[in-house]
Structures are given as C-alpha cells and as structure tokens.
Amino acid sequence: MASEQPQGGDRWVFGYGSLMWRPGFPFIDRRTAVLHGRRRAFCIYSVHHRGTYERPGLVLGLAPGGSVRGVAYRIAEAAWPEVYAYLREREQPTETYFEAWSKLRIDGDGEVPALVFLSDRAHGQWAGALTLEQQAELIAGARGLSGPNIDYLRDLVGHLREDGVRDHAMEALLKMVEARELKSSP
C-alpha cells in the first residue's frame, strides 16, 4: 500500500469523505479511485468540524481492512505547494490523521501514488470500531464549526449515491440518526 511521494510533476490526492464533494482546491482531473487495505468508517471523534470537546461528533477516517471507493484529484505541479498547504490546514486541525503516499487504482489510469490522510489509531480522537448504534448516538445532535454532524452524513450518503455507490451501512446509519433527531426535536 505504501508508495513514495512523486518528485516533481503532477500529484494525486485521494478523497473518501467531504473531499469527494467539496475539494476546495484547483485540480486538473477528477477520477473514481479505489484504495485497497483501508475502509471508510466513522472512527474519529470530531471536536472541531462536527462536534466539540464537550459534545464530540464523528467524522470519517480510513480504518484498516477492506477497500474504499472514493475520488482521486490530479493537481498540477505548479499548484501543488498551495494545495498541499490548504489540505494540511483543512485535514489536520487536531492532527488526527497521518499523511501517506499510497497506491490507488484509478479508473482509466491504472495505479498511481496519491496523498492519503490515514487515521492515526494512537491519537486520542481515534474512536475505533463502534457499532452503528454507538455511531448514531454520537452523530445525532452533535454540531461543530462546520455545522451539524448529520449534515456530513447526509452529504456522504447523497454523494455516494450520485457516484453510483450504495453503502448500505451508511444509509442505515443515516436512518438511525434521523430517527434520533426526530425524537429529540420539540
């Protein structure tokens, strides 16, 4: 899975969560891609974007095992320093991820090395393997600087559907969170 950072030239970045629908940086190509050896999971306590220290929410990380379908963006060499600085600021507010250059299988291009933000299982915000019930309990009602935690889950499910991906576990989780939020609303 590990790969070396390319020296010069265009570079690829892998998105498996909000980077899929809101990259926030210039790119010259966007492709569907698969990363093997990791899976998308709500395994990171969010105390910044989708929760607080007092009331953590959950955000996605890449947990070990399986594979994950996401999006790869090709970044022009000239834009790389600015894009990289933006990604570090966006993805690392509390250093819950570590950067790796991993091989992606990109539709139409075979394997390429790409920057991937992997979950740091030694970090205090690592939530680990939670049941859907535990995830729903944490997501329902949580809110951070980027808004309600449920919006992040809704965006994920909606954008996966748009890309032709049916993630039954994420869809079930969304239904559970919606039911909890409906119960708690006045």
- Domain at 75, CATH number: 3.10.490.10
End-to-end CA distance of the chain: 49
Q: Exposed, middle or buried: residue 34 (CB in 10 Å: 0-12, 13-18, 19+)?
A: middle
3 falls within a domain: no
68 falls within a domain: yes
47: tokens are: 């105390």
Q: Tell me, what's the pLDDT at 64?
A: 87
- Going from the first residue of the chain to its last (186 residues), give the mean pLDDT of each consecutive group of 10, the final group possibly shorter: 67 92 93 92 91 94 90 95 89 73 87 89 85 96 94 94 86 96 78
In whole angstroms, give the CA distance from residue 31 to residue 20.
Answer: 10
Active-site residue flag, 137: no
6 falls within a domain: no
136: tokens are: 């729903």
55 falls within a domain: yes
Contacts of 135 (CB under 8 A, 6+ apart): 42, 58, 173
Of 138, 142, 119, 109, the C-alpha closest to 68 is 119
Amino acid letter, 52: T
18 falls within a domain: yes
Q: Tell me, what's the pLDDT at 27?
A: 97
Domain count, the chain: 1
pTM: 0.84
Q: Tell me, what's the pLDDT at 98?
A: 81
Q: Are 15 and 57 in contact (CB under 8 A)?
A: no
- Residues spanned by the domain of 65: 11-184
In whole angstroms, give the CA distance from residue 117 to residue 114.
Answer: 10
Of 59, 62, 71, 61, the C-alpha closest to 13 is 71
156 falls within a domain: yes
4 falls within a domain: no
Contacts of 81 (CB under 8 A, 6+ apart): none
Q: Are 36 and 106 in contact (CB under 8 A)?
A: no
16 falls within a domain: yes
Of 45, 148, 42, the C-alpha closest to 96 is 45
Amino acid letter, 120: D
Using the 8-state DSSP alphabet, how is residue 50 labeled? S
Amino acid letter, 148: P
Catalytic position from the list 91, 111, 137, 181: 91
